[in-house]
Amino acid sequence: MRNKIVTGLDIGTSTIKVLVAERNGNEWNVLSFAQIPSFGLRRGSVVNVEETSKNIQLLLSGVEKDIGRRINSVFVNIGGSHLHVEPSDGLISVSRADKIISQEDIDRVLEATKSINIPLNEEILDVFPKEFIIDEQRGIKQPLGLTGVRLEAKVVLLCYFQSYFINLTQAVLNTKLQIDDIIPSPIAAAESVLSRQQKEIGSALIDIGSATTSLAVFDEGELIHLAVFPLGSANITNDIAIGLKTDVGTAEDIKKQHGTCGVKSAAATAGKKKMEVFENNYSLSFTKKQLTDIIRPRVSEILDIMQKELKKIGRQELLPGGVVLTGGGAKIPEIKELAKQILKLPIEVGFPKGIGGLDHDPALATVAGLILGSVDYESSGGVAMLGLSPGLFAGLGTKLRRMFRVFIP
Ligand SMILES: Nc1ncnc2c1ncn2[C@@H]1O[C@H](COP(=O)(O)OP(=O)(O)OP(=O)(O)O)[C@@H](O)[C@H]1O
Ligand SMILES: [Mg+2]
């Protein structure tokens, strides 16, 4: 029997990344990885479908040549600040005469949680149960097979703006690829960098991309909050371009080569030394302090927003599993120290685990998580293609079936 091959496609604002991996027992090996600059997105959402399709096509054809076989379907991310969560609950009477809770009851109560008012142009992507309550007995994680009369569910609903979802699916489907599943970026990233234990005891993932920063908070193994903000590492580049009076390309190079959040004292004392870069036939000189004084306020601003969001959900300084930083923006030196000062929590930079050879780059957390998340997809019965799976994914299955009806002639 051939090993299972899965493709993850991370459509980001600065780059589109594709990873093809092969599963061998419990291990994943990389067959191919490639990335290209992305031009069809604005703040994490696909706004130019044609341009995005063209880039995906280009990327995929290179990877197909590399592995010598066709790629038919992908696990793809959805990002952008239109993604948001809403708390909700549902209540049903258990249907069987013997009052044993069946999967159908669980599906019904989760479906009931979706009866909330959301704007007309929004839809629910997924339902994340926080707890079930059986006849006022709280804190139940798995009600299947238990006995009761009233079954309640407390959930968070993940909502999205319809047009951006349509743009994303259209951009992928135009390339003749099928979609195995659509996973919100921070949930995919969390899959590759947060341990089961961290999710259990309470932890957060912060993905600092180029144009967005996403937060996903977990407790007792479940997602309890998710938010995406329209600010990322590209803002630092723009600040450098303005502050040092240079072009964006030079500013990006300066950020990557010399940038730091400058928290450690050694960096501060070395700060007065003049540095010089030569680019496009001209030279630019600045001190490390000058550069740090541009970078640190912007990184602090991003982390302050995260802190406020954690406060909003009562988790400020209350995450024993700590915070894991991912995305290309997490590569800026000394961000760990700055985040520790601002968030007052244990901080790590998250290098993707579980796929051989990827553990050096936090920018690969999302694409790696798309691959690792495919295991849940399998165990849920293959939602997107079959639309038959029980439980949580049924909603997404329905949604995708509808999208496929719309887009596949
Ligand atoms: N060494 C580095 N130091 C600082 N920043 C870096 C470094 N390497 C990459 N970056 C920044 O990371 C960003 C790209 O990160 P990433 O690939 O996670 O973004 P994306 O997924 O394309 O964007 P988004 O998630 O916002 O849609 C760019 O802004 C880039 O400048
Ligand atoms: Mg990203």
- Indicate the burial class of 266 (C-beta count within 10 angstroms; 0-12, 13-18, 19 or more): exposed
pTM: 0.91
Question: How many whole angstroms from its chain centre is CA 183?
Answer: 7
Asked if 261 and 338 touch (Cβ cutoff 8 Å), the reply is yes
The pLDDT of residue 269: 54
Instruction: Tell me if residue 236 falls in helix, strand or coil.
Output: helix
Distance CA 227, CA 225 (A): 7
Dist. CA 327 → ligand 2 center (Å): 6
Q: Which of 137, 46, 154 is nearest to 90 (CA)?
A: 154
Dist. CA 209 → ligand 2 center (Å): 5
Report the nearest atom of ligand 1 relative to the CA of 15.
22
Dist. CA 189 → ligand 1 center (Å): 14
Q: Which two tokens stand for residue 345?
A: 């929590």
Question: What letter represents residue 77's amino acid?
Answer: N
Max Cα separation, the chain? 82
Strand order, beta sheet including 222-229: 137-140, 122-134, 150-161, 84-93, 222-229, 213-219, 203-208, 323-326, 347-349
- Indicate the burial class of 385 (C-beta count within 10 angstroms; 0-12, 13-18, 19 or more): middle
The pLDDT of residue 378: 62
Residue owning the nearest CA to atom 8 of ligand 1: 328
What number is the average pLDDT over the span 225-237? Answer: 98
> Residue 249: in which H helix or E strand, if any?
helix 248-258
Distance CA 309, CA 348 (A): 19
329-356 per-position pLDDT tens digit: 999 999 999 999 999 999 999 999 999 8
Distance CA 356, CA 341 (A): 33
Alpha-helical regions (H) of 208-259 = 233-243, 248-258
Question: What letter represents residue 314's amino acid?
Answer: G
- What band does 283 get if pLDDT is binned at 50, 70 and 90? confident
Asked if 83 and 158 touch (Cβ cutoff 8 Å), the reply is yes
126-135 per-position pLDDT tens digit: 999 999 999 9
Report the nearest atom of ligand 1 relative to the CA of 10.
21
Dist. CA 12 → ligand 2 center (Å): 5
Residue owning the nearest CA to atom 28 of ligand 1: 210
Would you say residue 98 has pLDDT above 90? yes
The pLDDT of residue 110: 96
Distance CA 167, CA 171 (A): 6
Distance CA 212, CA 81 (A): 7
Distance CA 36, CA 38 (A): 6
Report the nearest atom of ligand 1 relative to the CA of 41.
27
Look at 103-107, 190-194, 350-354, 385-389 and tell me which has the smallest mean pLDDT: 385-389
Ligand 1 pocket test: which of 168, 255, 336 has the largest number of ligand atoms within 8 Å of its C-beta? Answer: 255
Which residues line ion ligand 2, judged by CB < 5 Å?
12, 209
Distance CA 83, CA 182 (A): 13
- What band does 282 get if pLDDT is binned at 50, 70 and 90? confident
Would you say residue 37 has pLDDT above 80? yes
Dist. CA 212 → ligand 1 center (Å): 10
Residue-range domains of the chain with CATH: 4-81+162-191+353-406 (3.30.420.40), 84-159 (3.30.1490.110)
Distance CA 306, CA 215 (A): 7
Instruction: Tell me if residue 375 falls in helix, strand or coil.
Output: helix
- Neighbour count for residue 105 (Cβ, 10 Å): 20
Ligand minimally distant from the alpha carbon of residue 261: 1
Written as one string, the DSSP assignment of 104-123 is: HHHHHHHHHTT-S---TTEE
Instruction: Tell me if residue 241 falls in helix, strand or coil.
Output: helix
> Residue 325: in which H helix or E strand, if any?
strand 323-326
Using a 6 Å CB cutoff, which residues line ligand 1?
12-15, 44, 79, 209-212, 232-234, 237, 252, 255-256, 259, 327-329, 331-332, 363
Asked if 85 and 159 touch (Cβ cutoff 8 Å), the reply is yes
Question: What letter represents residue 229's amino acid?
Answer: F
Q: Which two tokens stand for residue 65?
A: 């040549």
Asked if 342 and 303 touch (Cβ cutoff 8 Å), the reply is yes
